[in-house]
Each structure stands twice: as structure tokens, then as C-alpha cells.
Amino acid sequence: MARYDTPINASDASFERAVLQATRPAVVVFWSPRETSRDHLNTLLEKVAEQYASQVLVAKLEASDAPQTHAKYGLTALPEFLFFREGRLVARAKGMPSLQALHPWVEYLLERGPKPVTTKPRPQATQPADSGHPIQVSDADFDQVVLQASNPVLVDFWATWCGPCRSVAPIIEGLAGEFVGRALVAKLDVDANPVVAQRYGVRSIPTLIFFHNGREVERAVGAQPANVLRSKLNQLL
């Protein structure tokens, strides 16, 4: 019996044979490097394939390699996960889930659990610029919140496991209150939002990037004292 313990790459030419005619249920993700980090996606799929080896097939299709299949299933946003059982589509989930969030879908595919309830995400309440606290931004709303802001923006690229990020957090909080109404201070978790982090080449954290009129104008890497960040913001006002 074949072991499906690594993800496979499929295309329009191979989709029916590789996925619809597979002898195992299939987890299929349609993706594009413009919206999704390749490394992040590969890591997720490799873990799923390894955990469910011999139980499910894990496949990925880059949108440019599968335009006909993309159109056939009416995909409107990428990435999107489709779940097939005996050649039939039984479920679909939009977005880039965590490994933990993907597990219930695979269990449903294997008929070992209920179908996860999908709800439209509630629009995040956008904190006004005068809230006095840093705004949490994501891959989904970064362009709208940061690049379209009318005031200068300081974005703290951080992660929960990062010690220096924790040490600079009170400074970021203080600056948000200090520059209320004059500049926007935002935070982006690089683990949860790899696309924007990759777009701006963030390799070390914390990375603090200053934006003005939709463009990056300066950055600082590592924990910075308040007076340095304050000075840079003042120069943009």
C-alpha cells in the first residue's frame, strides 16, 4: 500500500489522476506565492502529510499551473483548502490555517469527526488612530491600514516567542499614546502573518519599519530605545 507521507505538486494535467482518482481522501490547497509564503505552506503540508501518512493524500496546486481547475471549483481567494473523498468535493476552507485549525477538517474528511463550522470572520474593529494603543495588523488588512494611512506609521514586526520583542513592547505601547492623532503605531505577528513579513524581507525581530505615504522610509532592527523611535517619528511629521 502506498504511503502518502509527503505532499505532492499537481497541475491541470495531473489533477484528475493524482487527486480525483486517488485511493485515499485528499487534502488539496490552491495557492499563489503572491498571497502565501512558500516555506510556511510547505512546512504546514509536510506536517499534515507526515501525521496522516497512509490515510490522506496532501496535494498543492499553484494557481498559475492550474487555471482550469481553479476556475472549475470557483476559487475566489487564495489560499483555499479543498477536501475530496472518493473523487467528490466534500468541504472547503479559505485562508491559511494553523496546523491545529486544520486537524478538524482532516478528521472530518476521514469521517472521524463532525464538519467544522465555518463562519465569516467578523471584521476586526479598527482601532481609531486616537485610541492610544498599538493596532494589531495582519496579512489581510496591512495594505489598507498601513499603506493607505494618512499619517506616518510605525510597524513593530514581532513574535510571541521573541524576548527582545517583549522588552520593546512597553515602548511601542507608550509611543502609541504619545503620538495619538499624529502617527499610527501598529504591530504585526510574523508567525501568524508571514506574507507581509516576507514581502518586506524581515529576517530578524523585532524589526521596526516606518511608513509614510504608502512607502517604507526607514527601519530599525532589534530592540530600540524610546528616544530613537520617537525621533524617527517626529522627523516624519
**162 in active site:** yes
**Catalytic site includes residue 165:** yes
- Please pick, among 63, 155, 162, 186, the residue that the annotation labels catalytic: 162
User: SS3 sequence, the chain?
Assistant: CCCCCCCEECCCCCHHHHHHCCCCCEEEEEECCCCCCHHHHHHHHHHHHHHCCCCCEEEEEEHHHCHHHHHHCCCCCCCEEEEEECCEEEEEEECCCCHHHHHHHHHHHCCCCCCCCCCCCCCCCCCCCCCCCCEECCCCCHHHHHHCCCCCEEEEEECCCCHHHHHHHHHHHHHHHHCCCCCEEEEEECCCCHHHHHHCCCCCCCEEEEEECCEEEEEEECCCCHHHHHHHHHHHC
* Catalytic residue chosen out of the listed positions 26, 57, 165, 202: 165
Catalytic residues, which ones? 162, 165
